[in-house]
């Protein structure tokens, strides 16, 4: 048999080929199982950020008149009802004295006095409350009805005492009403008293053209605490954080298919955007806006529109 020396090296060559094939297969399998995440992108912008606190404000009429009974007797007639507009000196009630009701022909009758007393309005306004209908027995000094002056409608804002430094007489604020409509109001005055255990101070806000708003309407007022101009802003959806909201990061694109994790320091947080204090990004930097949740330090992505 003819001697072939290359056969001595054949097992080694086959072993090397097998090992190389396994390595190539392993690399291709790792590349195959690495997911490609579809994601949308956004960019940073410069703008204004505002930090504010939100507090409730309740509507109230500053000017109201409580019409009281001048005598002890019965309500003979009611000329008005709740919601009626009245003018000053218009007739509201007729009251009959208790004595006239008990003795139809007493000495008062003989002198031409009927025992009827007329009660009139003390100002122009709207009847907001009716305390006694016709036929009721009332004591002297008891409330018959309440008249409010529509033009005296204000909103009473209650804020902690430490917030006073952010609010000044003449400042304008926007009231957000329950129907999502907005109303501009001006700080009219500060009431010189604190509210009990809550230690809040009442501030009178005078609204502009308010139409015919009712009393005890609850609105929300935003008080600006901090305002910054020309700051770096990203959408909130682009900024991720840990469970305790202590560490923040973004997924920044280094090319069209790869995003890396970049820790950031944040500042003012708005409704849908957040201030980035550091690092300083450029206007050409791109960040993942969706599809970024749960990604590692480096992710393979596919940009979608």
**Are 75 and 143 part of one and the same domain?**
yes
Does the pLDDT at position 26 exceed 60? no
Provide, rounded to the nearest whole percent, the portion of the chain with pLDDT above 70.
84
Q: How many domains does the chain have?
A: 3
Select from 193, 227, 261 the last residue of a domain. Answer: 227
**Are 87 and 197 part of one and the same domain?**
no
Residue of 170 and 19 predicted with greater confidence: 170
CATH label of the domain that carries residue 184: 2.40.30.170
pLDDT in tens, 156-181: 999 998 888 899 999 999 999 999 99
Q: Does the residue 7 lie in any domain? A: no
Select from 227, 254, 281 the last residue of a domain. Answer: 227
Does the pLDDT at position 93 exceed 90? yes
Q: What is the pTM of this model?
A: 0.65
pLDDT at 27: 44
pLDDT in tens, 218-262: 999 999 888 889 999 999 999 999 888 889 999 999 999 999 999
Peptide bond into 279 cis (omega under 30): yes
pLDDT at 52: 87
**Are 295 and 160 part of one and the same domain?**
no
**Are 177 and 211 part of one and the same domain?**
yes
Domain that holds residue 238: 36-50+229-303
Q: Does the residue 118 lie in any domain? A: yes
Q: Does the residue 14 lie in any domain? A: no
Q: Does the residue 3 lie in any domain? A: no
Whether 67 contacts 145, CB under 8 Å: yes
Select from 178, 205, 227 the last residue of a domain. Answer: 227
CATH label of the domain that carries residue 71: 2.40.50.100
Q: Does the residue 26 lie in any domain? A: no
pLDDT in tens, 28-45: 444 445 688 899 999 999
Q: Does the residue 213 lie in any domain? A: yes
């Amino acid at each position: 048999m003819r001697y072939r020396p290359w056969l001595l090296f054949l097992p080694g060559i086959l072993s090397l080929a097998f090992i190389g094939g396994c390595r190539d297969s392993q690399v291709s399998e790792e590349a195959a199982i690495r997911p490609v995440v579809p994601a949308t992108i956004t960019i940073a912008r410069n703008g204004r950020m505002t930090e504010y606190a939100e507090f409730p404000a309740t509507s109230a009429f500053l000017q109201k008149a409580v019409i009281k009974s001048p005598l002890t007797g019965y309500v003979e007639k009611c000329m008005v009802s709740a919601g009626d507009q009245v003018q000053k000196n218009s007739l509201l009630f007729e009251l009959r004295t208790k004595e006239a009701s008990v003795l139809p022909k007493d000495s008062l009758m003989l002198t031409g006095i009927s025992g009827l007393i007329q009660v009139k309005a003390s100002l122009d306004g709207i009847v907001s409350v009716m305390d006694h209908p016709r036929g009721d027995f009332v004591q002297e000094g008891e409330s018959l009805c309440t008249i409010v002056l529509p033009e005296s409608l204000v909103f009473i804002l209650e804020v902690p005492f430490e917030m006073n430094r952010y609010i000044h007489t003449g400042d304008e604020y926007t009231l957000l009403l329950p129907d999502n409509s907005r109303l501009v109001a001006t700080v009219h005055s500060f009431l010189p008293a604190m509210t009990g255990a809550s230690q809040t101070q009442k501030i009178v806000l005078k609204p502009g053209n308010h139409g015919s708003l009712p009393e005890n309407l609850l609105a929300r007022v935003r008080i600006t605490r901090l305002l910054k101009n020309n700051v770096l802003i990203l959408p909130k959806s682009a900024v991720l954080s840990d469970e305790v909201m202590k560490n923040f990061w973004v997924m920044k694109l280094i090319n069209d298919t790869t995003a890396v994790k970049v820790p950031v320091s944040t500042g003012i947080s708005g409704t849908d955007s957040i201030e980035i204090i550091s690092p300083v990004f450029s206007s050409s930097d791109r960040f993942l806006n969706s599809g970024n949740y749960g990604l590692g330090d480096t992710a393979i992505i596919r940009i979608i529109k």
